[in-house]
Amino acid sequence: MAGALAIALLAVGCGAVGRDANPGNRSPGVATVVRVIDGDTIVAKVGAREERIRLIGIDTPETVDPRKPVQCFGHEASDRMKSLLPPGSSIRVERDVEERDVYRRLLGYIWRRSDGLFVNRAMVADGYAHLLTIPPNVAYTNDFTRAAADARSSGLGLWRACPHE
């Protein structure tokens, strides 16, 4: 009996390798896009509340910070996010270890429910976003790293328009 329990615990432990190794409640939630703020932040209706959601693992050129000028390819990144998630889009939000950032925005990985598109990854893969890894929220870092390297080597999006990046 003890041997079977040890094997079961080992199997459970092995299942925690990789993407699922991070603790925390990552159960998906369903939300509806209200508006896009910029290339890496949206407002969505989550239950009865509107929430600002900051996409984990990516960073797009600045367009809305009043302290900074609009950065190279910022408008294009915002427009791309608007095309991926127009108002009314149904999305699935997955959390990582931390629920919110220092600005009280909900942190999330976003999937478009209509076709399963992983929006965070698409923004990086298509050259509209840089990789931004902030531990402990690292569930998809390897995937984003590969996507960013491919976009950069292919000269996609901001990598072509902003050579100093």
pLDDT the model gives residue 14: 31
Q: Which of 80, 95, 105, 121 is flagged as catalytic?
A: 105
How many CB atoms within 10 Å of residue 106? 19
> Is 49 an annotated catalytic residue?
no
Return the minimum-mean-pLDDT range out of 17-21, 80-84, 108-112. 17-21
Taking the CA atoms of 110, 115, 117 and 123 in sequence, report the sign of the dihedral they define: negative
User: Is 62 a catalytic site residue?
Assistant: yes
> Does residue 19 lie within any of the structural domains?
no
Residue pLDDT, tens place only, 8-62? 323 323 332 233 334 445 666 999 999 999 999 999 999 999 999 999 999 999 8
Q: In the prediction, which pLDDT does 28 show?
A: 62
Question: What is the arithmetic mean of pLDDT over 104-110?
Answer: 97
Which candidate in 51, 62, 76, 94 is catalytic?
62
Structural domain of 125: 24-161
Nearest-angstrom CA–CA distance, 141 and 72: 24
For the question of residue 54 being annotated catalytic, the response is yes
- The answer to whether residue 86 is domain-embedded is yes
- CATH number, domain of 127, equals 2.40.50.90
Confidence (pTM): 0.82
Residue 77 placed within a domain: yes
Q: What is the DSSP letter of 18?
A: G
138 falls within a domain: yes
Specify the residue for token string 């108002």. Answer: 87
**Residue 63: per-residue pLDDT:** 85
13 within some domain: no
Q: How many domains does the chain have?
A: 1
* 12: in domain: no
pLDDT reported for residue 150: 97
Q: Among residues 63, 19, 20, 46, which one has the least CA distance to residue 107? A: 46
